[in-house]
Amino acid sequence: MKLFSNEIVFRGHPDKVCDQISSAILDECLRKDEGSRCGVEVMGGKGKIFITGEITTKADFDAAAIARRVLRDIGYRDDYEIIDNIGKQSGDIALGTNDEIAGAGDQGMMFGYACNDTDRYLPKAMVILQELSRKYDELVHSHEDFYPDGKAQITGVYDDDFNILSIKDFTISYNNSEKNRKVTDAMLKDIADEICARYGLKVERYLINPTGRFEIGGFEGDAGLTGRKIVVDAYQSFANVGGGCMNGKDPTKVDLSGAYMARKYAKELLKKYDLKWCEIQMSYAIGLRRPLAIYIDSDKGNFMPEEQMYERGEPKHIIEELDMKHICYEKQAMFGHFYD
């Protein structure tokens, strides 16, 4: 037996708010100009939201208005001071990503993962937290005692084959009015119990707001930053994670497109070879089309990548195959990029 933990942050966590603002700006640029090149960074805290990064686009957009709309949608007030410091993408990067060269927008390594635990090809504990975070978002928009900020963590009991047997500790820290804690705590516990039961799991102990109170949250209680929750965005520690954030970046950036393709490869190989789990690493050099390497690991050992995986792994082909200029990245940034 062994213990293993995974975590999610709710949609209203300050880091996730910044992720959503970055991605919403990206969405607006791609909607109006599919050739947009974006790398948007957001930082927020103490009444101010600072938007910076690089964008080259023909799109006309208002970054501050987008940020205020995202804040309202999440459940926050929209009277923050917005500082727009966006610049243009470096021409040196553009040399390698234009339509003629169509190279990778950055160097780095990306990971994709899939397992046979659930019909979403994701671990049970990860899916449970994703479902809880969506239910929590519904509570925020339907119940005045729930505020947007929060996070949750599962410490599971696993056997030697890494099958989860039960949940030792289910930790939930949620921002609230602190006026009806017995009621709101019970609501969350009931929701979590119902989700866990669907996956055949029982919870031994709940730790709900372990400090005792969580009334001050959001940007008043903490600062937020785009890209600070890359483990939550990917596989919640069940797999390796590449070094780059997926939010606020157009799909010529392989931090985004390479990670999405690696996930697709992992699911394909899982089904083809009847694997329990599969993990893919893809690596790139800026300005070059072809991945430098594709590494495949699984419960049945390593596999050599087929040649067509390298061709399909070129950024231009990934964008076309996965239709990556027409994805709503703001939605992807809310609860983790890999929900299915």
User: For the segment 45-82, what is each residue's pLDDT rounded down to a tens digit?
Assistant: 999 999 999 999 999 999 999 999 999 999 999 999 99
User: Residue 88 — very low, low, confident or very high, per pLDDT cuts 50/70/90?
Assistant: confident
CA distance 45 to 36: 28
Q: What is the pLDDT of residues 15-43, one digit of tens each?
A: 999 999 999 999 999 999 999 999 999 99
Report yes or no: 75 and 12 within 8 Å, Cβ to Cβ: yes
Instruction: Sort 154 into a burial class: Cβ within 10 Å, 0-12 / 13-18 / 19+.
Output: buried
Q: What is the pLDDT of residues 262-308, one digit of tens each?
A: 999 999 999 999 999 999 999 999 999 999 999 999 999 999 999 99
Give me the domains of the chain, ranges plus CATH numbers.
Answer: 2-7+127-219 (3.30.300.10), 16-96 (3.30.300.10), 108-117+233-335 (3.30.300.10)
- Active site positions, annotated: 13, 15-16, 41, 54, 151, 214, 222-223, 228-229, 249, 253, 255
Q: Look at residue 218 in the predicted model and tell me its pLDDT.
A: 96
Q: Look at residue 94 in the predicted model and tell me its pLDDT.
A: 53
User: Residue 103 — very low, low, confident or very high, per pLDDT cuts 50/70/90?
Assistant: confident
| H helix and E strand count, the chain | 11, 11
Neighbours of 175 (CB within 10 A): 24
Tokens for 255, please give them: 């931090």
The closest of 105, 53, 97, 112 to 242, measured between CA atoms, is: 112
Q: Look at residue 96 in the predicted model and tell me its pLDDT.
A: 47
| Percent of the chain clearing pLDDT 90 (strictly above) | 93
| 256-270: burial string, b at 16+ Cβ within 10 Å, e else | bbbbbbbbbbbbebb
Tokens for 143, please give them: 């119940």
Instruction: Sort 87 into a burial class: Cβ within 10 Å, 0-12 / 13-18 / 19+.
Output: exposed
DSSP conformation class of 213: -
Q: What is the pTM of this model?
A: 0.95
User: Residue 91 — very low, low, confident or very high, per pLDDT cuts 50/70/90?
Assistant: low
